[in-house]
Amino acid sequence: MGKVLPQFERSHFPAINRTALEILQVNLGYLCNLSCRHCHVGAGPKRTELMTKDVIDLVFAYIQKETIHTLDLTGGAPEMNPHFKYVVQQARAMNIKVIDRCNLVILEEPGYIDMAQFLAENKVVITASLPCYLEDNVDKQRGKGVFNASLSALKQLNELGYGQVGNDLELNLVFNPQGTNLPPEQSVLEADYKQYLKAHYGIVFNKLFAMTNLPIQRFASMLQRKGLFNDYLQLLKDNYRAENLAGLMCRNTLSVDWQGYVYDCDFNQMLQLPLGANYPKKTHLRDLLTTISLVDEAIAVREHCYGCTAGQGSSCGGALG
Ligand code: SF4
Ligand code: SF4
């Protein structure tokens, strides 16, 4: 597991508050078939933390109480949670949009050969990491053989209708930089990805999300090992853009960990930074079932938040600008 960093400073990051809650991002556990270098969760094949059915039922009780329209499933590899299919089916029966943050390779693993078909049947939006369209770069960051397995999974998804014009099965790809730079402009990169993947492999997809690496967990450990941590943080601060504040994902999204504790975002979850300024201790989903809405609540911000406001901005849905 990646080492959690020393506490970030409160810093001068502006105070921000929540708007209406629309998206619940649920981490189904840290078990993953891969161990990527940039992983901000520190996920891997040896992790045993998985959300139980009891906690999953709390998630649905909370969805019923709130105005949530999207369930964003993450991990680890969310598909490796034994209750994954139950979660998807329950949500779809409630007419909730489901996003699967899929590493693609899982769709090629023994035991998961029916997963792509299942996702298509349930009209699950797939948001898949592919940090580059070149084999060497992907394998360097994610592990040997990952690029070819990813291509094979993408072809399988295209055959099911994902990413095809005129089909409502949505397939989005996620880019994150290999090193200590900010992502290039998302629209330009998306055009490059589309052109290259179509020309070389006949692969199509809907959108590309360019995400900034936040300096936490495994990526932070790498920065520390190389003595680059402070420089990277400074880069994020130097590229601060106030216009990105309005679109920050923490404003309309709540992050839930595998045990049911809630955080302002996935990154705060990894830093174990409790929800908002008004909740000094860790808050559990069951506490929120009996409280009023979170609208206008202050969000817990620290220096790592500059990763979301730098340059074109960054969120689970890509650039903000
Ligand atoms: S696939 Fe995703 S969750 Fe798994 S190790 Fe890689 S970055 Fe982490
Ligand atoms: S890390 Fe980003 S999403 Fe999380 S609280 Fe900070 S600004 Fe919001």
Q: CATH no. for residue 296?
A: 3.20.20.70
> Is-contact 317 247, C-beta < 8 A?
no
What is residue 6's predicted lDDT score, i.e. its pLDDT? Answer: 44
Q: Report the residue among 1, 26, 39 best suited for mutation to probe ligand 1: largest number of ligand atoms under 8 A from its CB.
A: 39
Position 179 confidence tier, pLDDT thresholds 50, 70, 90: confident
Relative to the alpha carbon of 79, which ligand is closest? 1
Tell me what percent of the residues of the chain surpass a pLDDT of 90. 73
Residues 6 or more apart whose Cβ sits within 8 Å of residue 109 = 33
Give the tens place of pLDDT for each residue, 182-224.
Answer: 999 999 999 999 999 999 999 999 999 999 999 988 788 889 9
Task: Tell me which residue has its CA closest to atom 7 in ligand 2.
Answer: 305
318 is a domain residue: no
Give the tens place of pLDDT for each residue, 61-115.
Answer: 999 988 899 999 999 999 999 999 999 999 999 999 999 999 999 999 999 999 9
Give the tens place of pLDDT for each residue, 13-29.
Answer: 999 999 999 999 999 99
Read out DSSP for 90-109? HHHHTT-EEEEEE-SGGGGS
Give the tens place of pLDDT for each residue, 155-170.
Answer: 999 999 999 998 999 9
Which residues' Cβ are closer than 6 Å to ligand 2? 248-250, 264-265, 267-268, 299, 301, 304-305, 308
Structural domain boundaries, residue 237: 23-309
Closest ligand 2 atom, CA of 268? 4
27 is a domain residue: yes
Q: Report the residue among 16, 216, 268, 315 best suited for mutation to probe ligand 2: largest number of ligand atoms under 8 A from its CB.
A: 268
What would you measure as the largest C-alpha separation in the chain, in angstroms? 54
What is residue 5's predicted lDDT score, i.e. its pLDDT? Answer: 45
Token readout for 212 is 């900034």
Task: Please give the distance, rounded to the nearest whole angstrom, from the Cα atom of residue 33 to the centre of ligand 2.
Answer: 27
Relative to the alpha carbon of 143, which ligand is closest? 1
6 is a domain residue: no
Position 10 confidence tier, pLDDT thresholds 50, 70, 90: low
Position 122 confidence tier, pLDDT thresholds 50, 70, 90: very high
Task: Tell me which residue has its CA closest to atom 3 in ligand 2.
Answer: 250
Give the tens place of pLDDT for each residue, 240-275.
Answer: 999 999 999 999 999 999 999 999 999 999 888 999
Domain count, the chain: 1
Query: For residues 180 and 215, what is the distance between their CA atoms, to the nearest angstrom?
Result: 10
Give the tens place of pLDDT for each residue, 276-301.
Answer: 866 668 899 999 998 778 999 999 99
What is residue 239's predicted lDDT score, i.e. its pLDDT? Answer: 95
Work out the number of other CB atoms within 10 angstroms of the CB of residue 14.
Answer: 11
Closest ligand 2 atom, CA of 304? 1
What is residue 116's predicted lDDT score, i.e. its pLDDT? Answer: 98
314 is a domain residue: no
Give the tens place of pLDDT for each residue, 91-106.
Answer: 999 999 999 999 999 9
What is residue 176's predicted lDDT score, i.e. its pLDDT? Answer: 87
142 is a domain residue: yes
Phi, psi of 37 (to 5 degrees): -65, -35
* Residue appearing with tokens 């020393």: 6
Task: Please give the distance, rounded to the nearest whole angstrom, from the Cα atom of residue 299 to the centre of ligand 1.
Answer: 26
What is residue 1's predicted lDDT score, i.e. its pLDDT? Answer: 41
Task: Tell me which residue has its CA closest to atom 7 in ligand 1.
Answer: 39
18 is a domain residue: no
317 is a domain residue: no
304 is a domain residue: yes
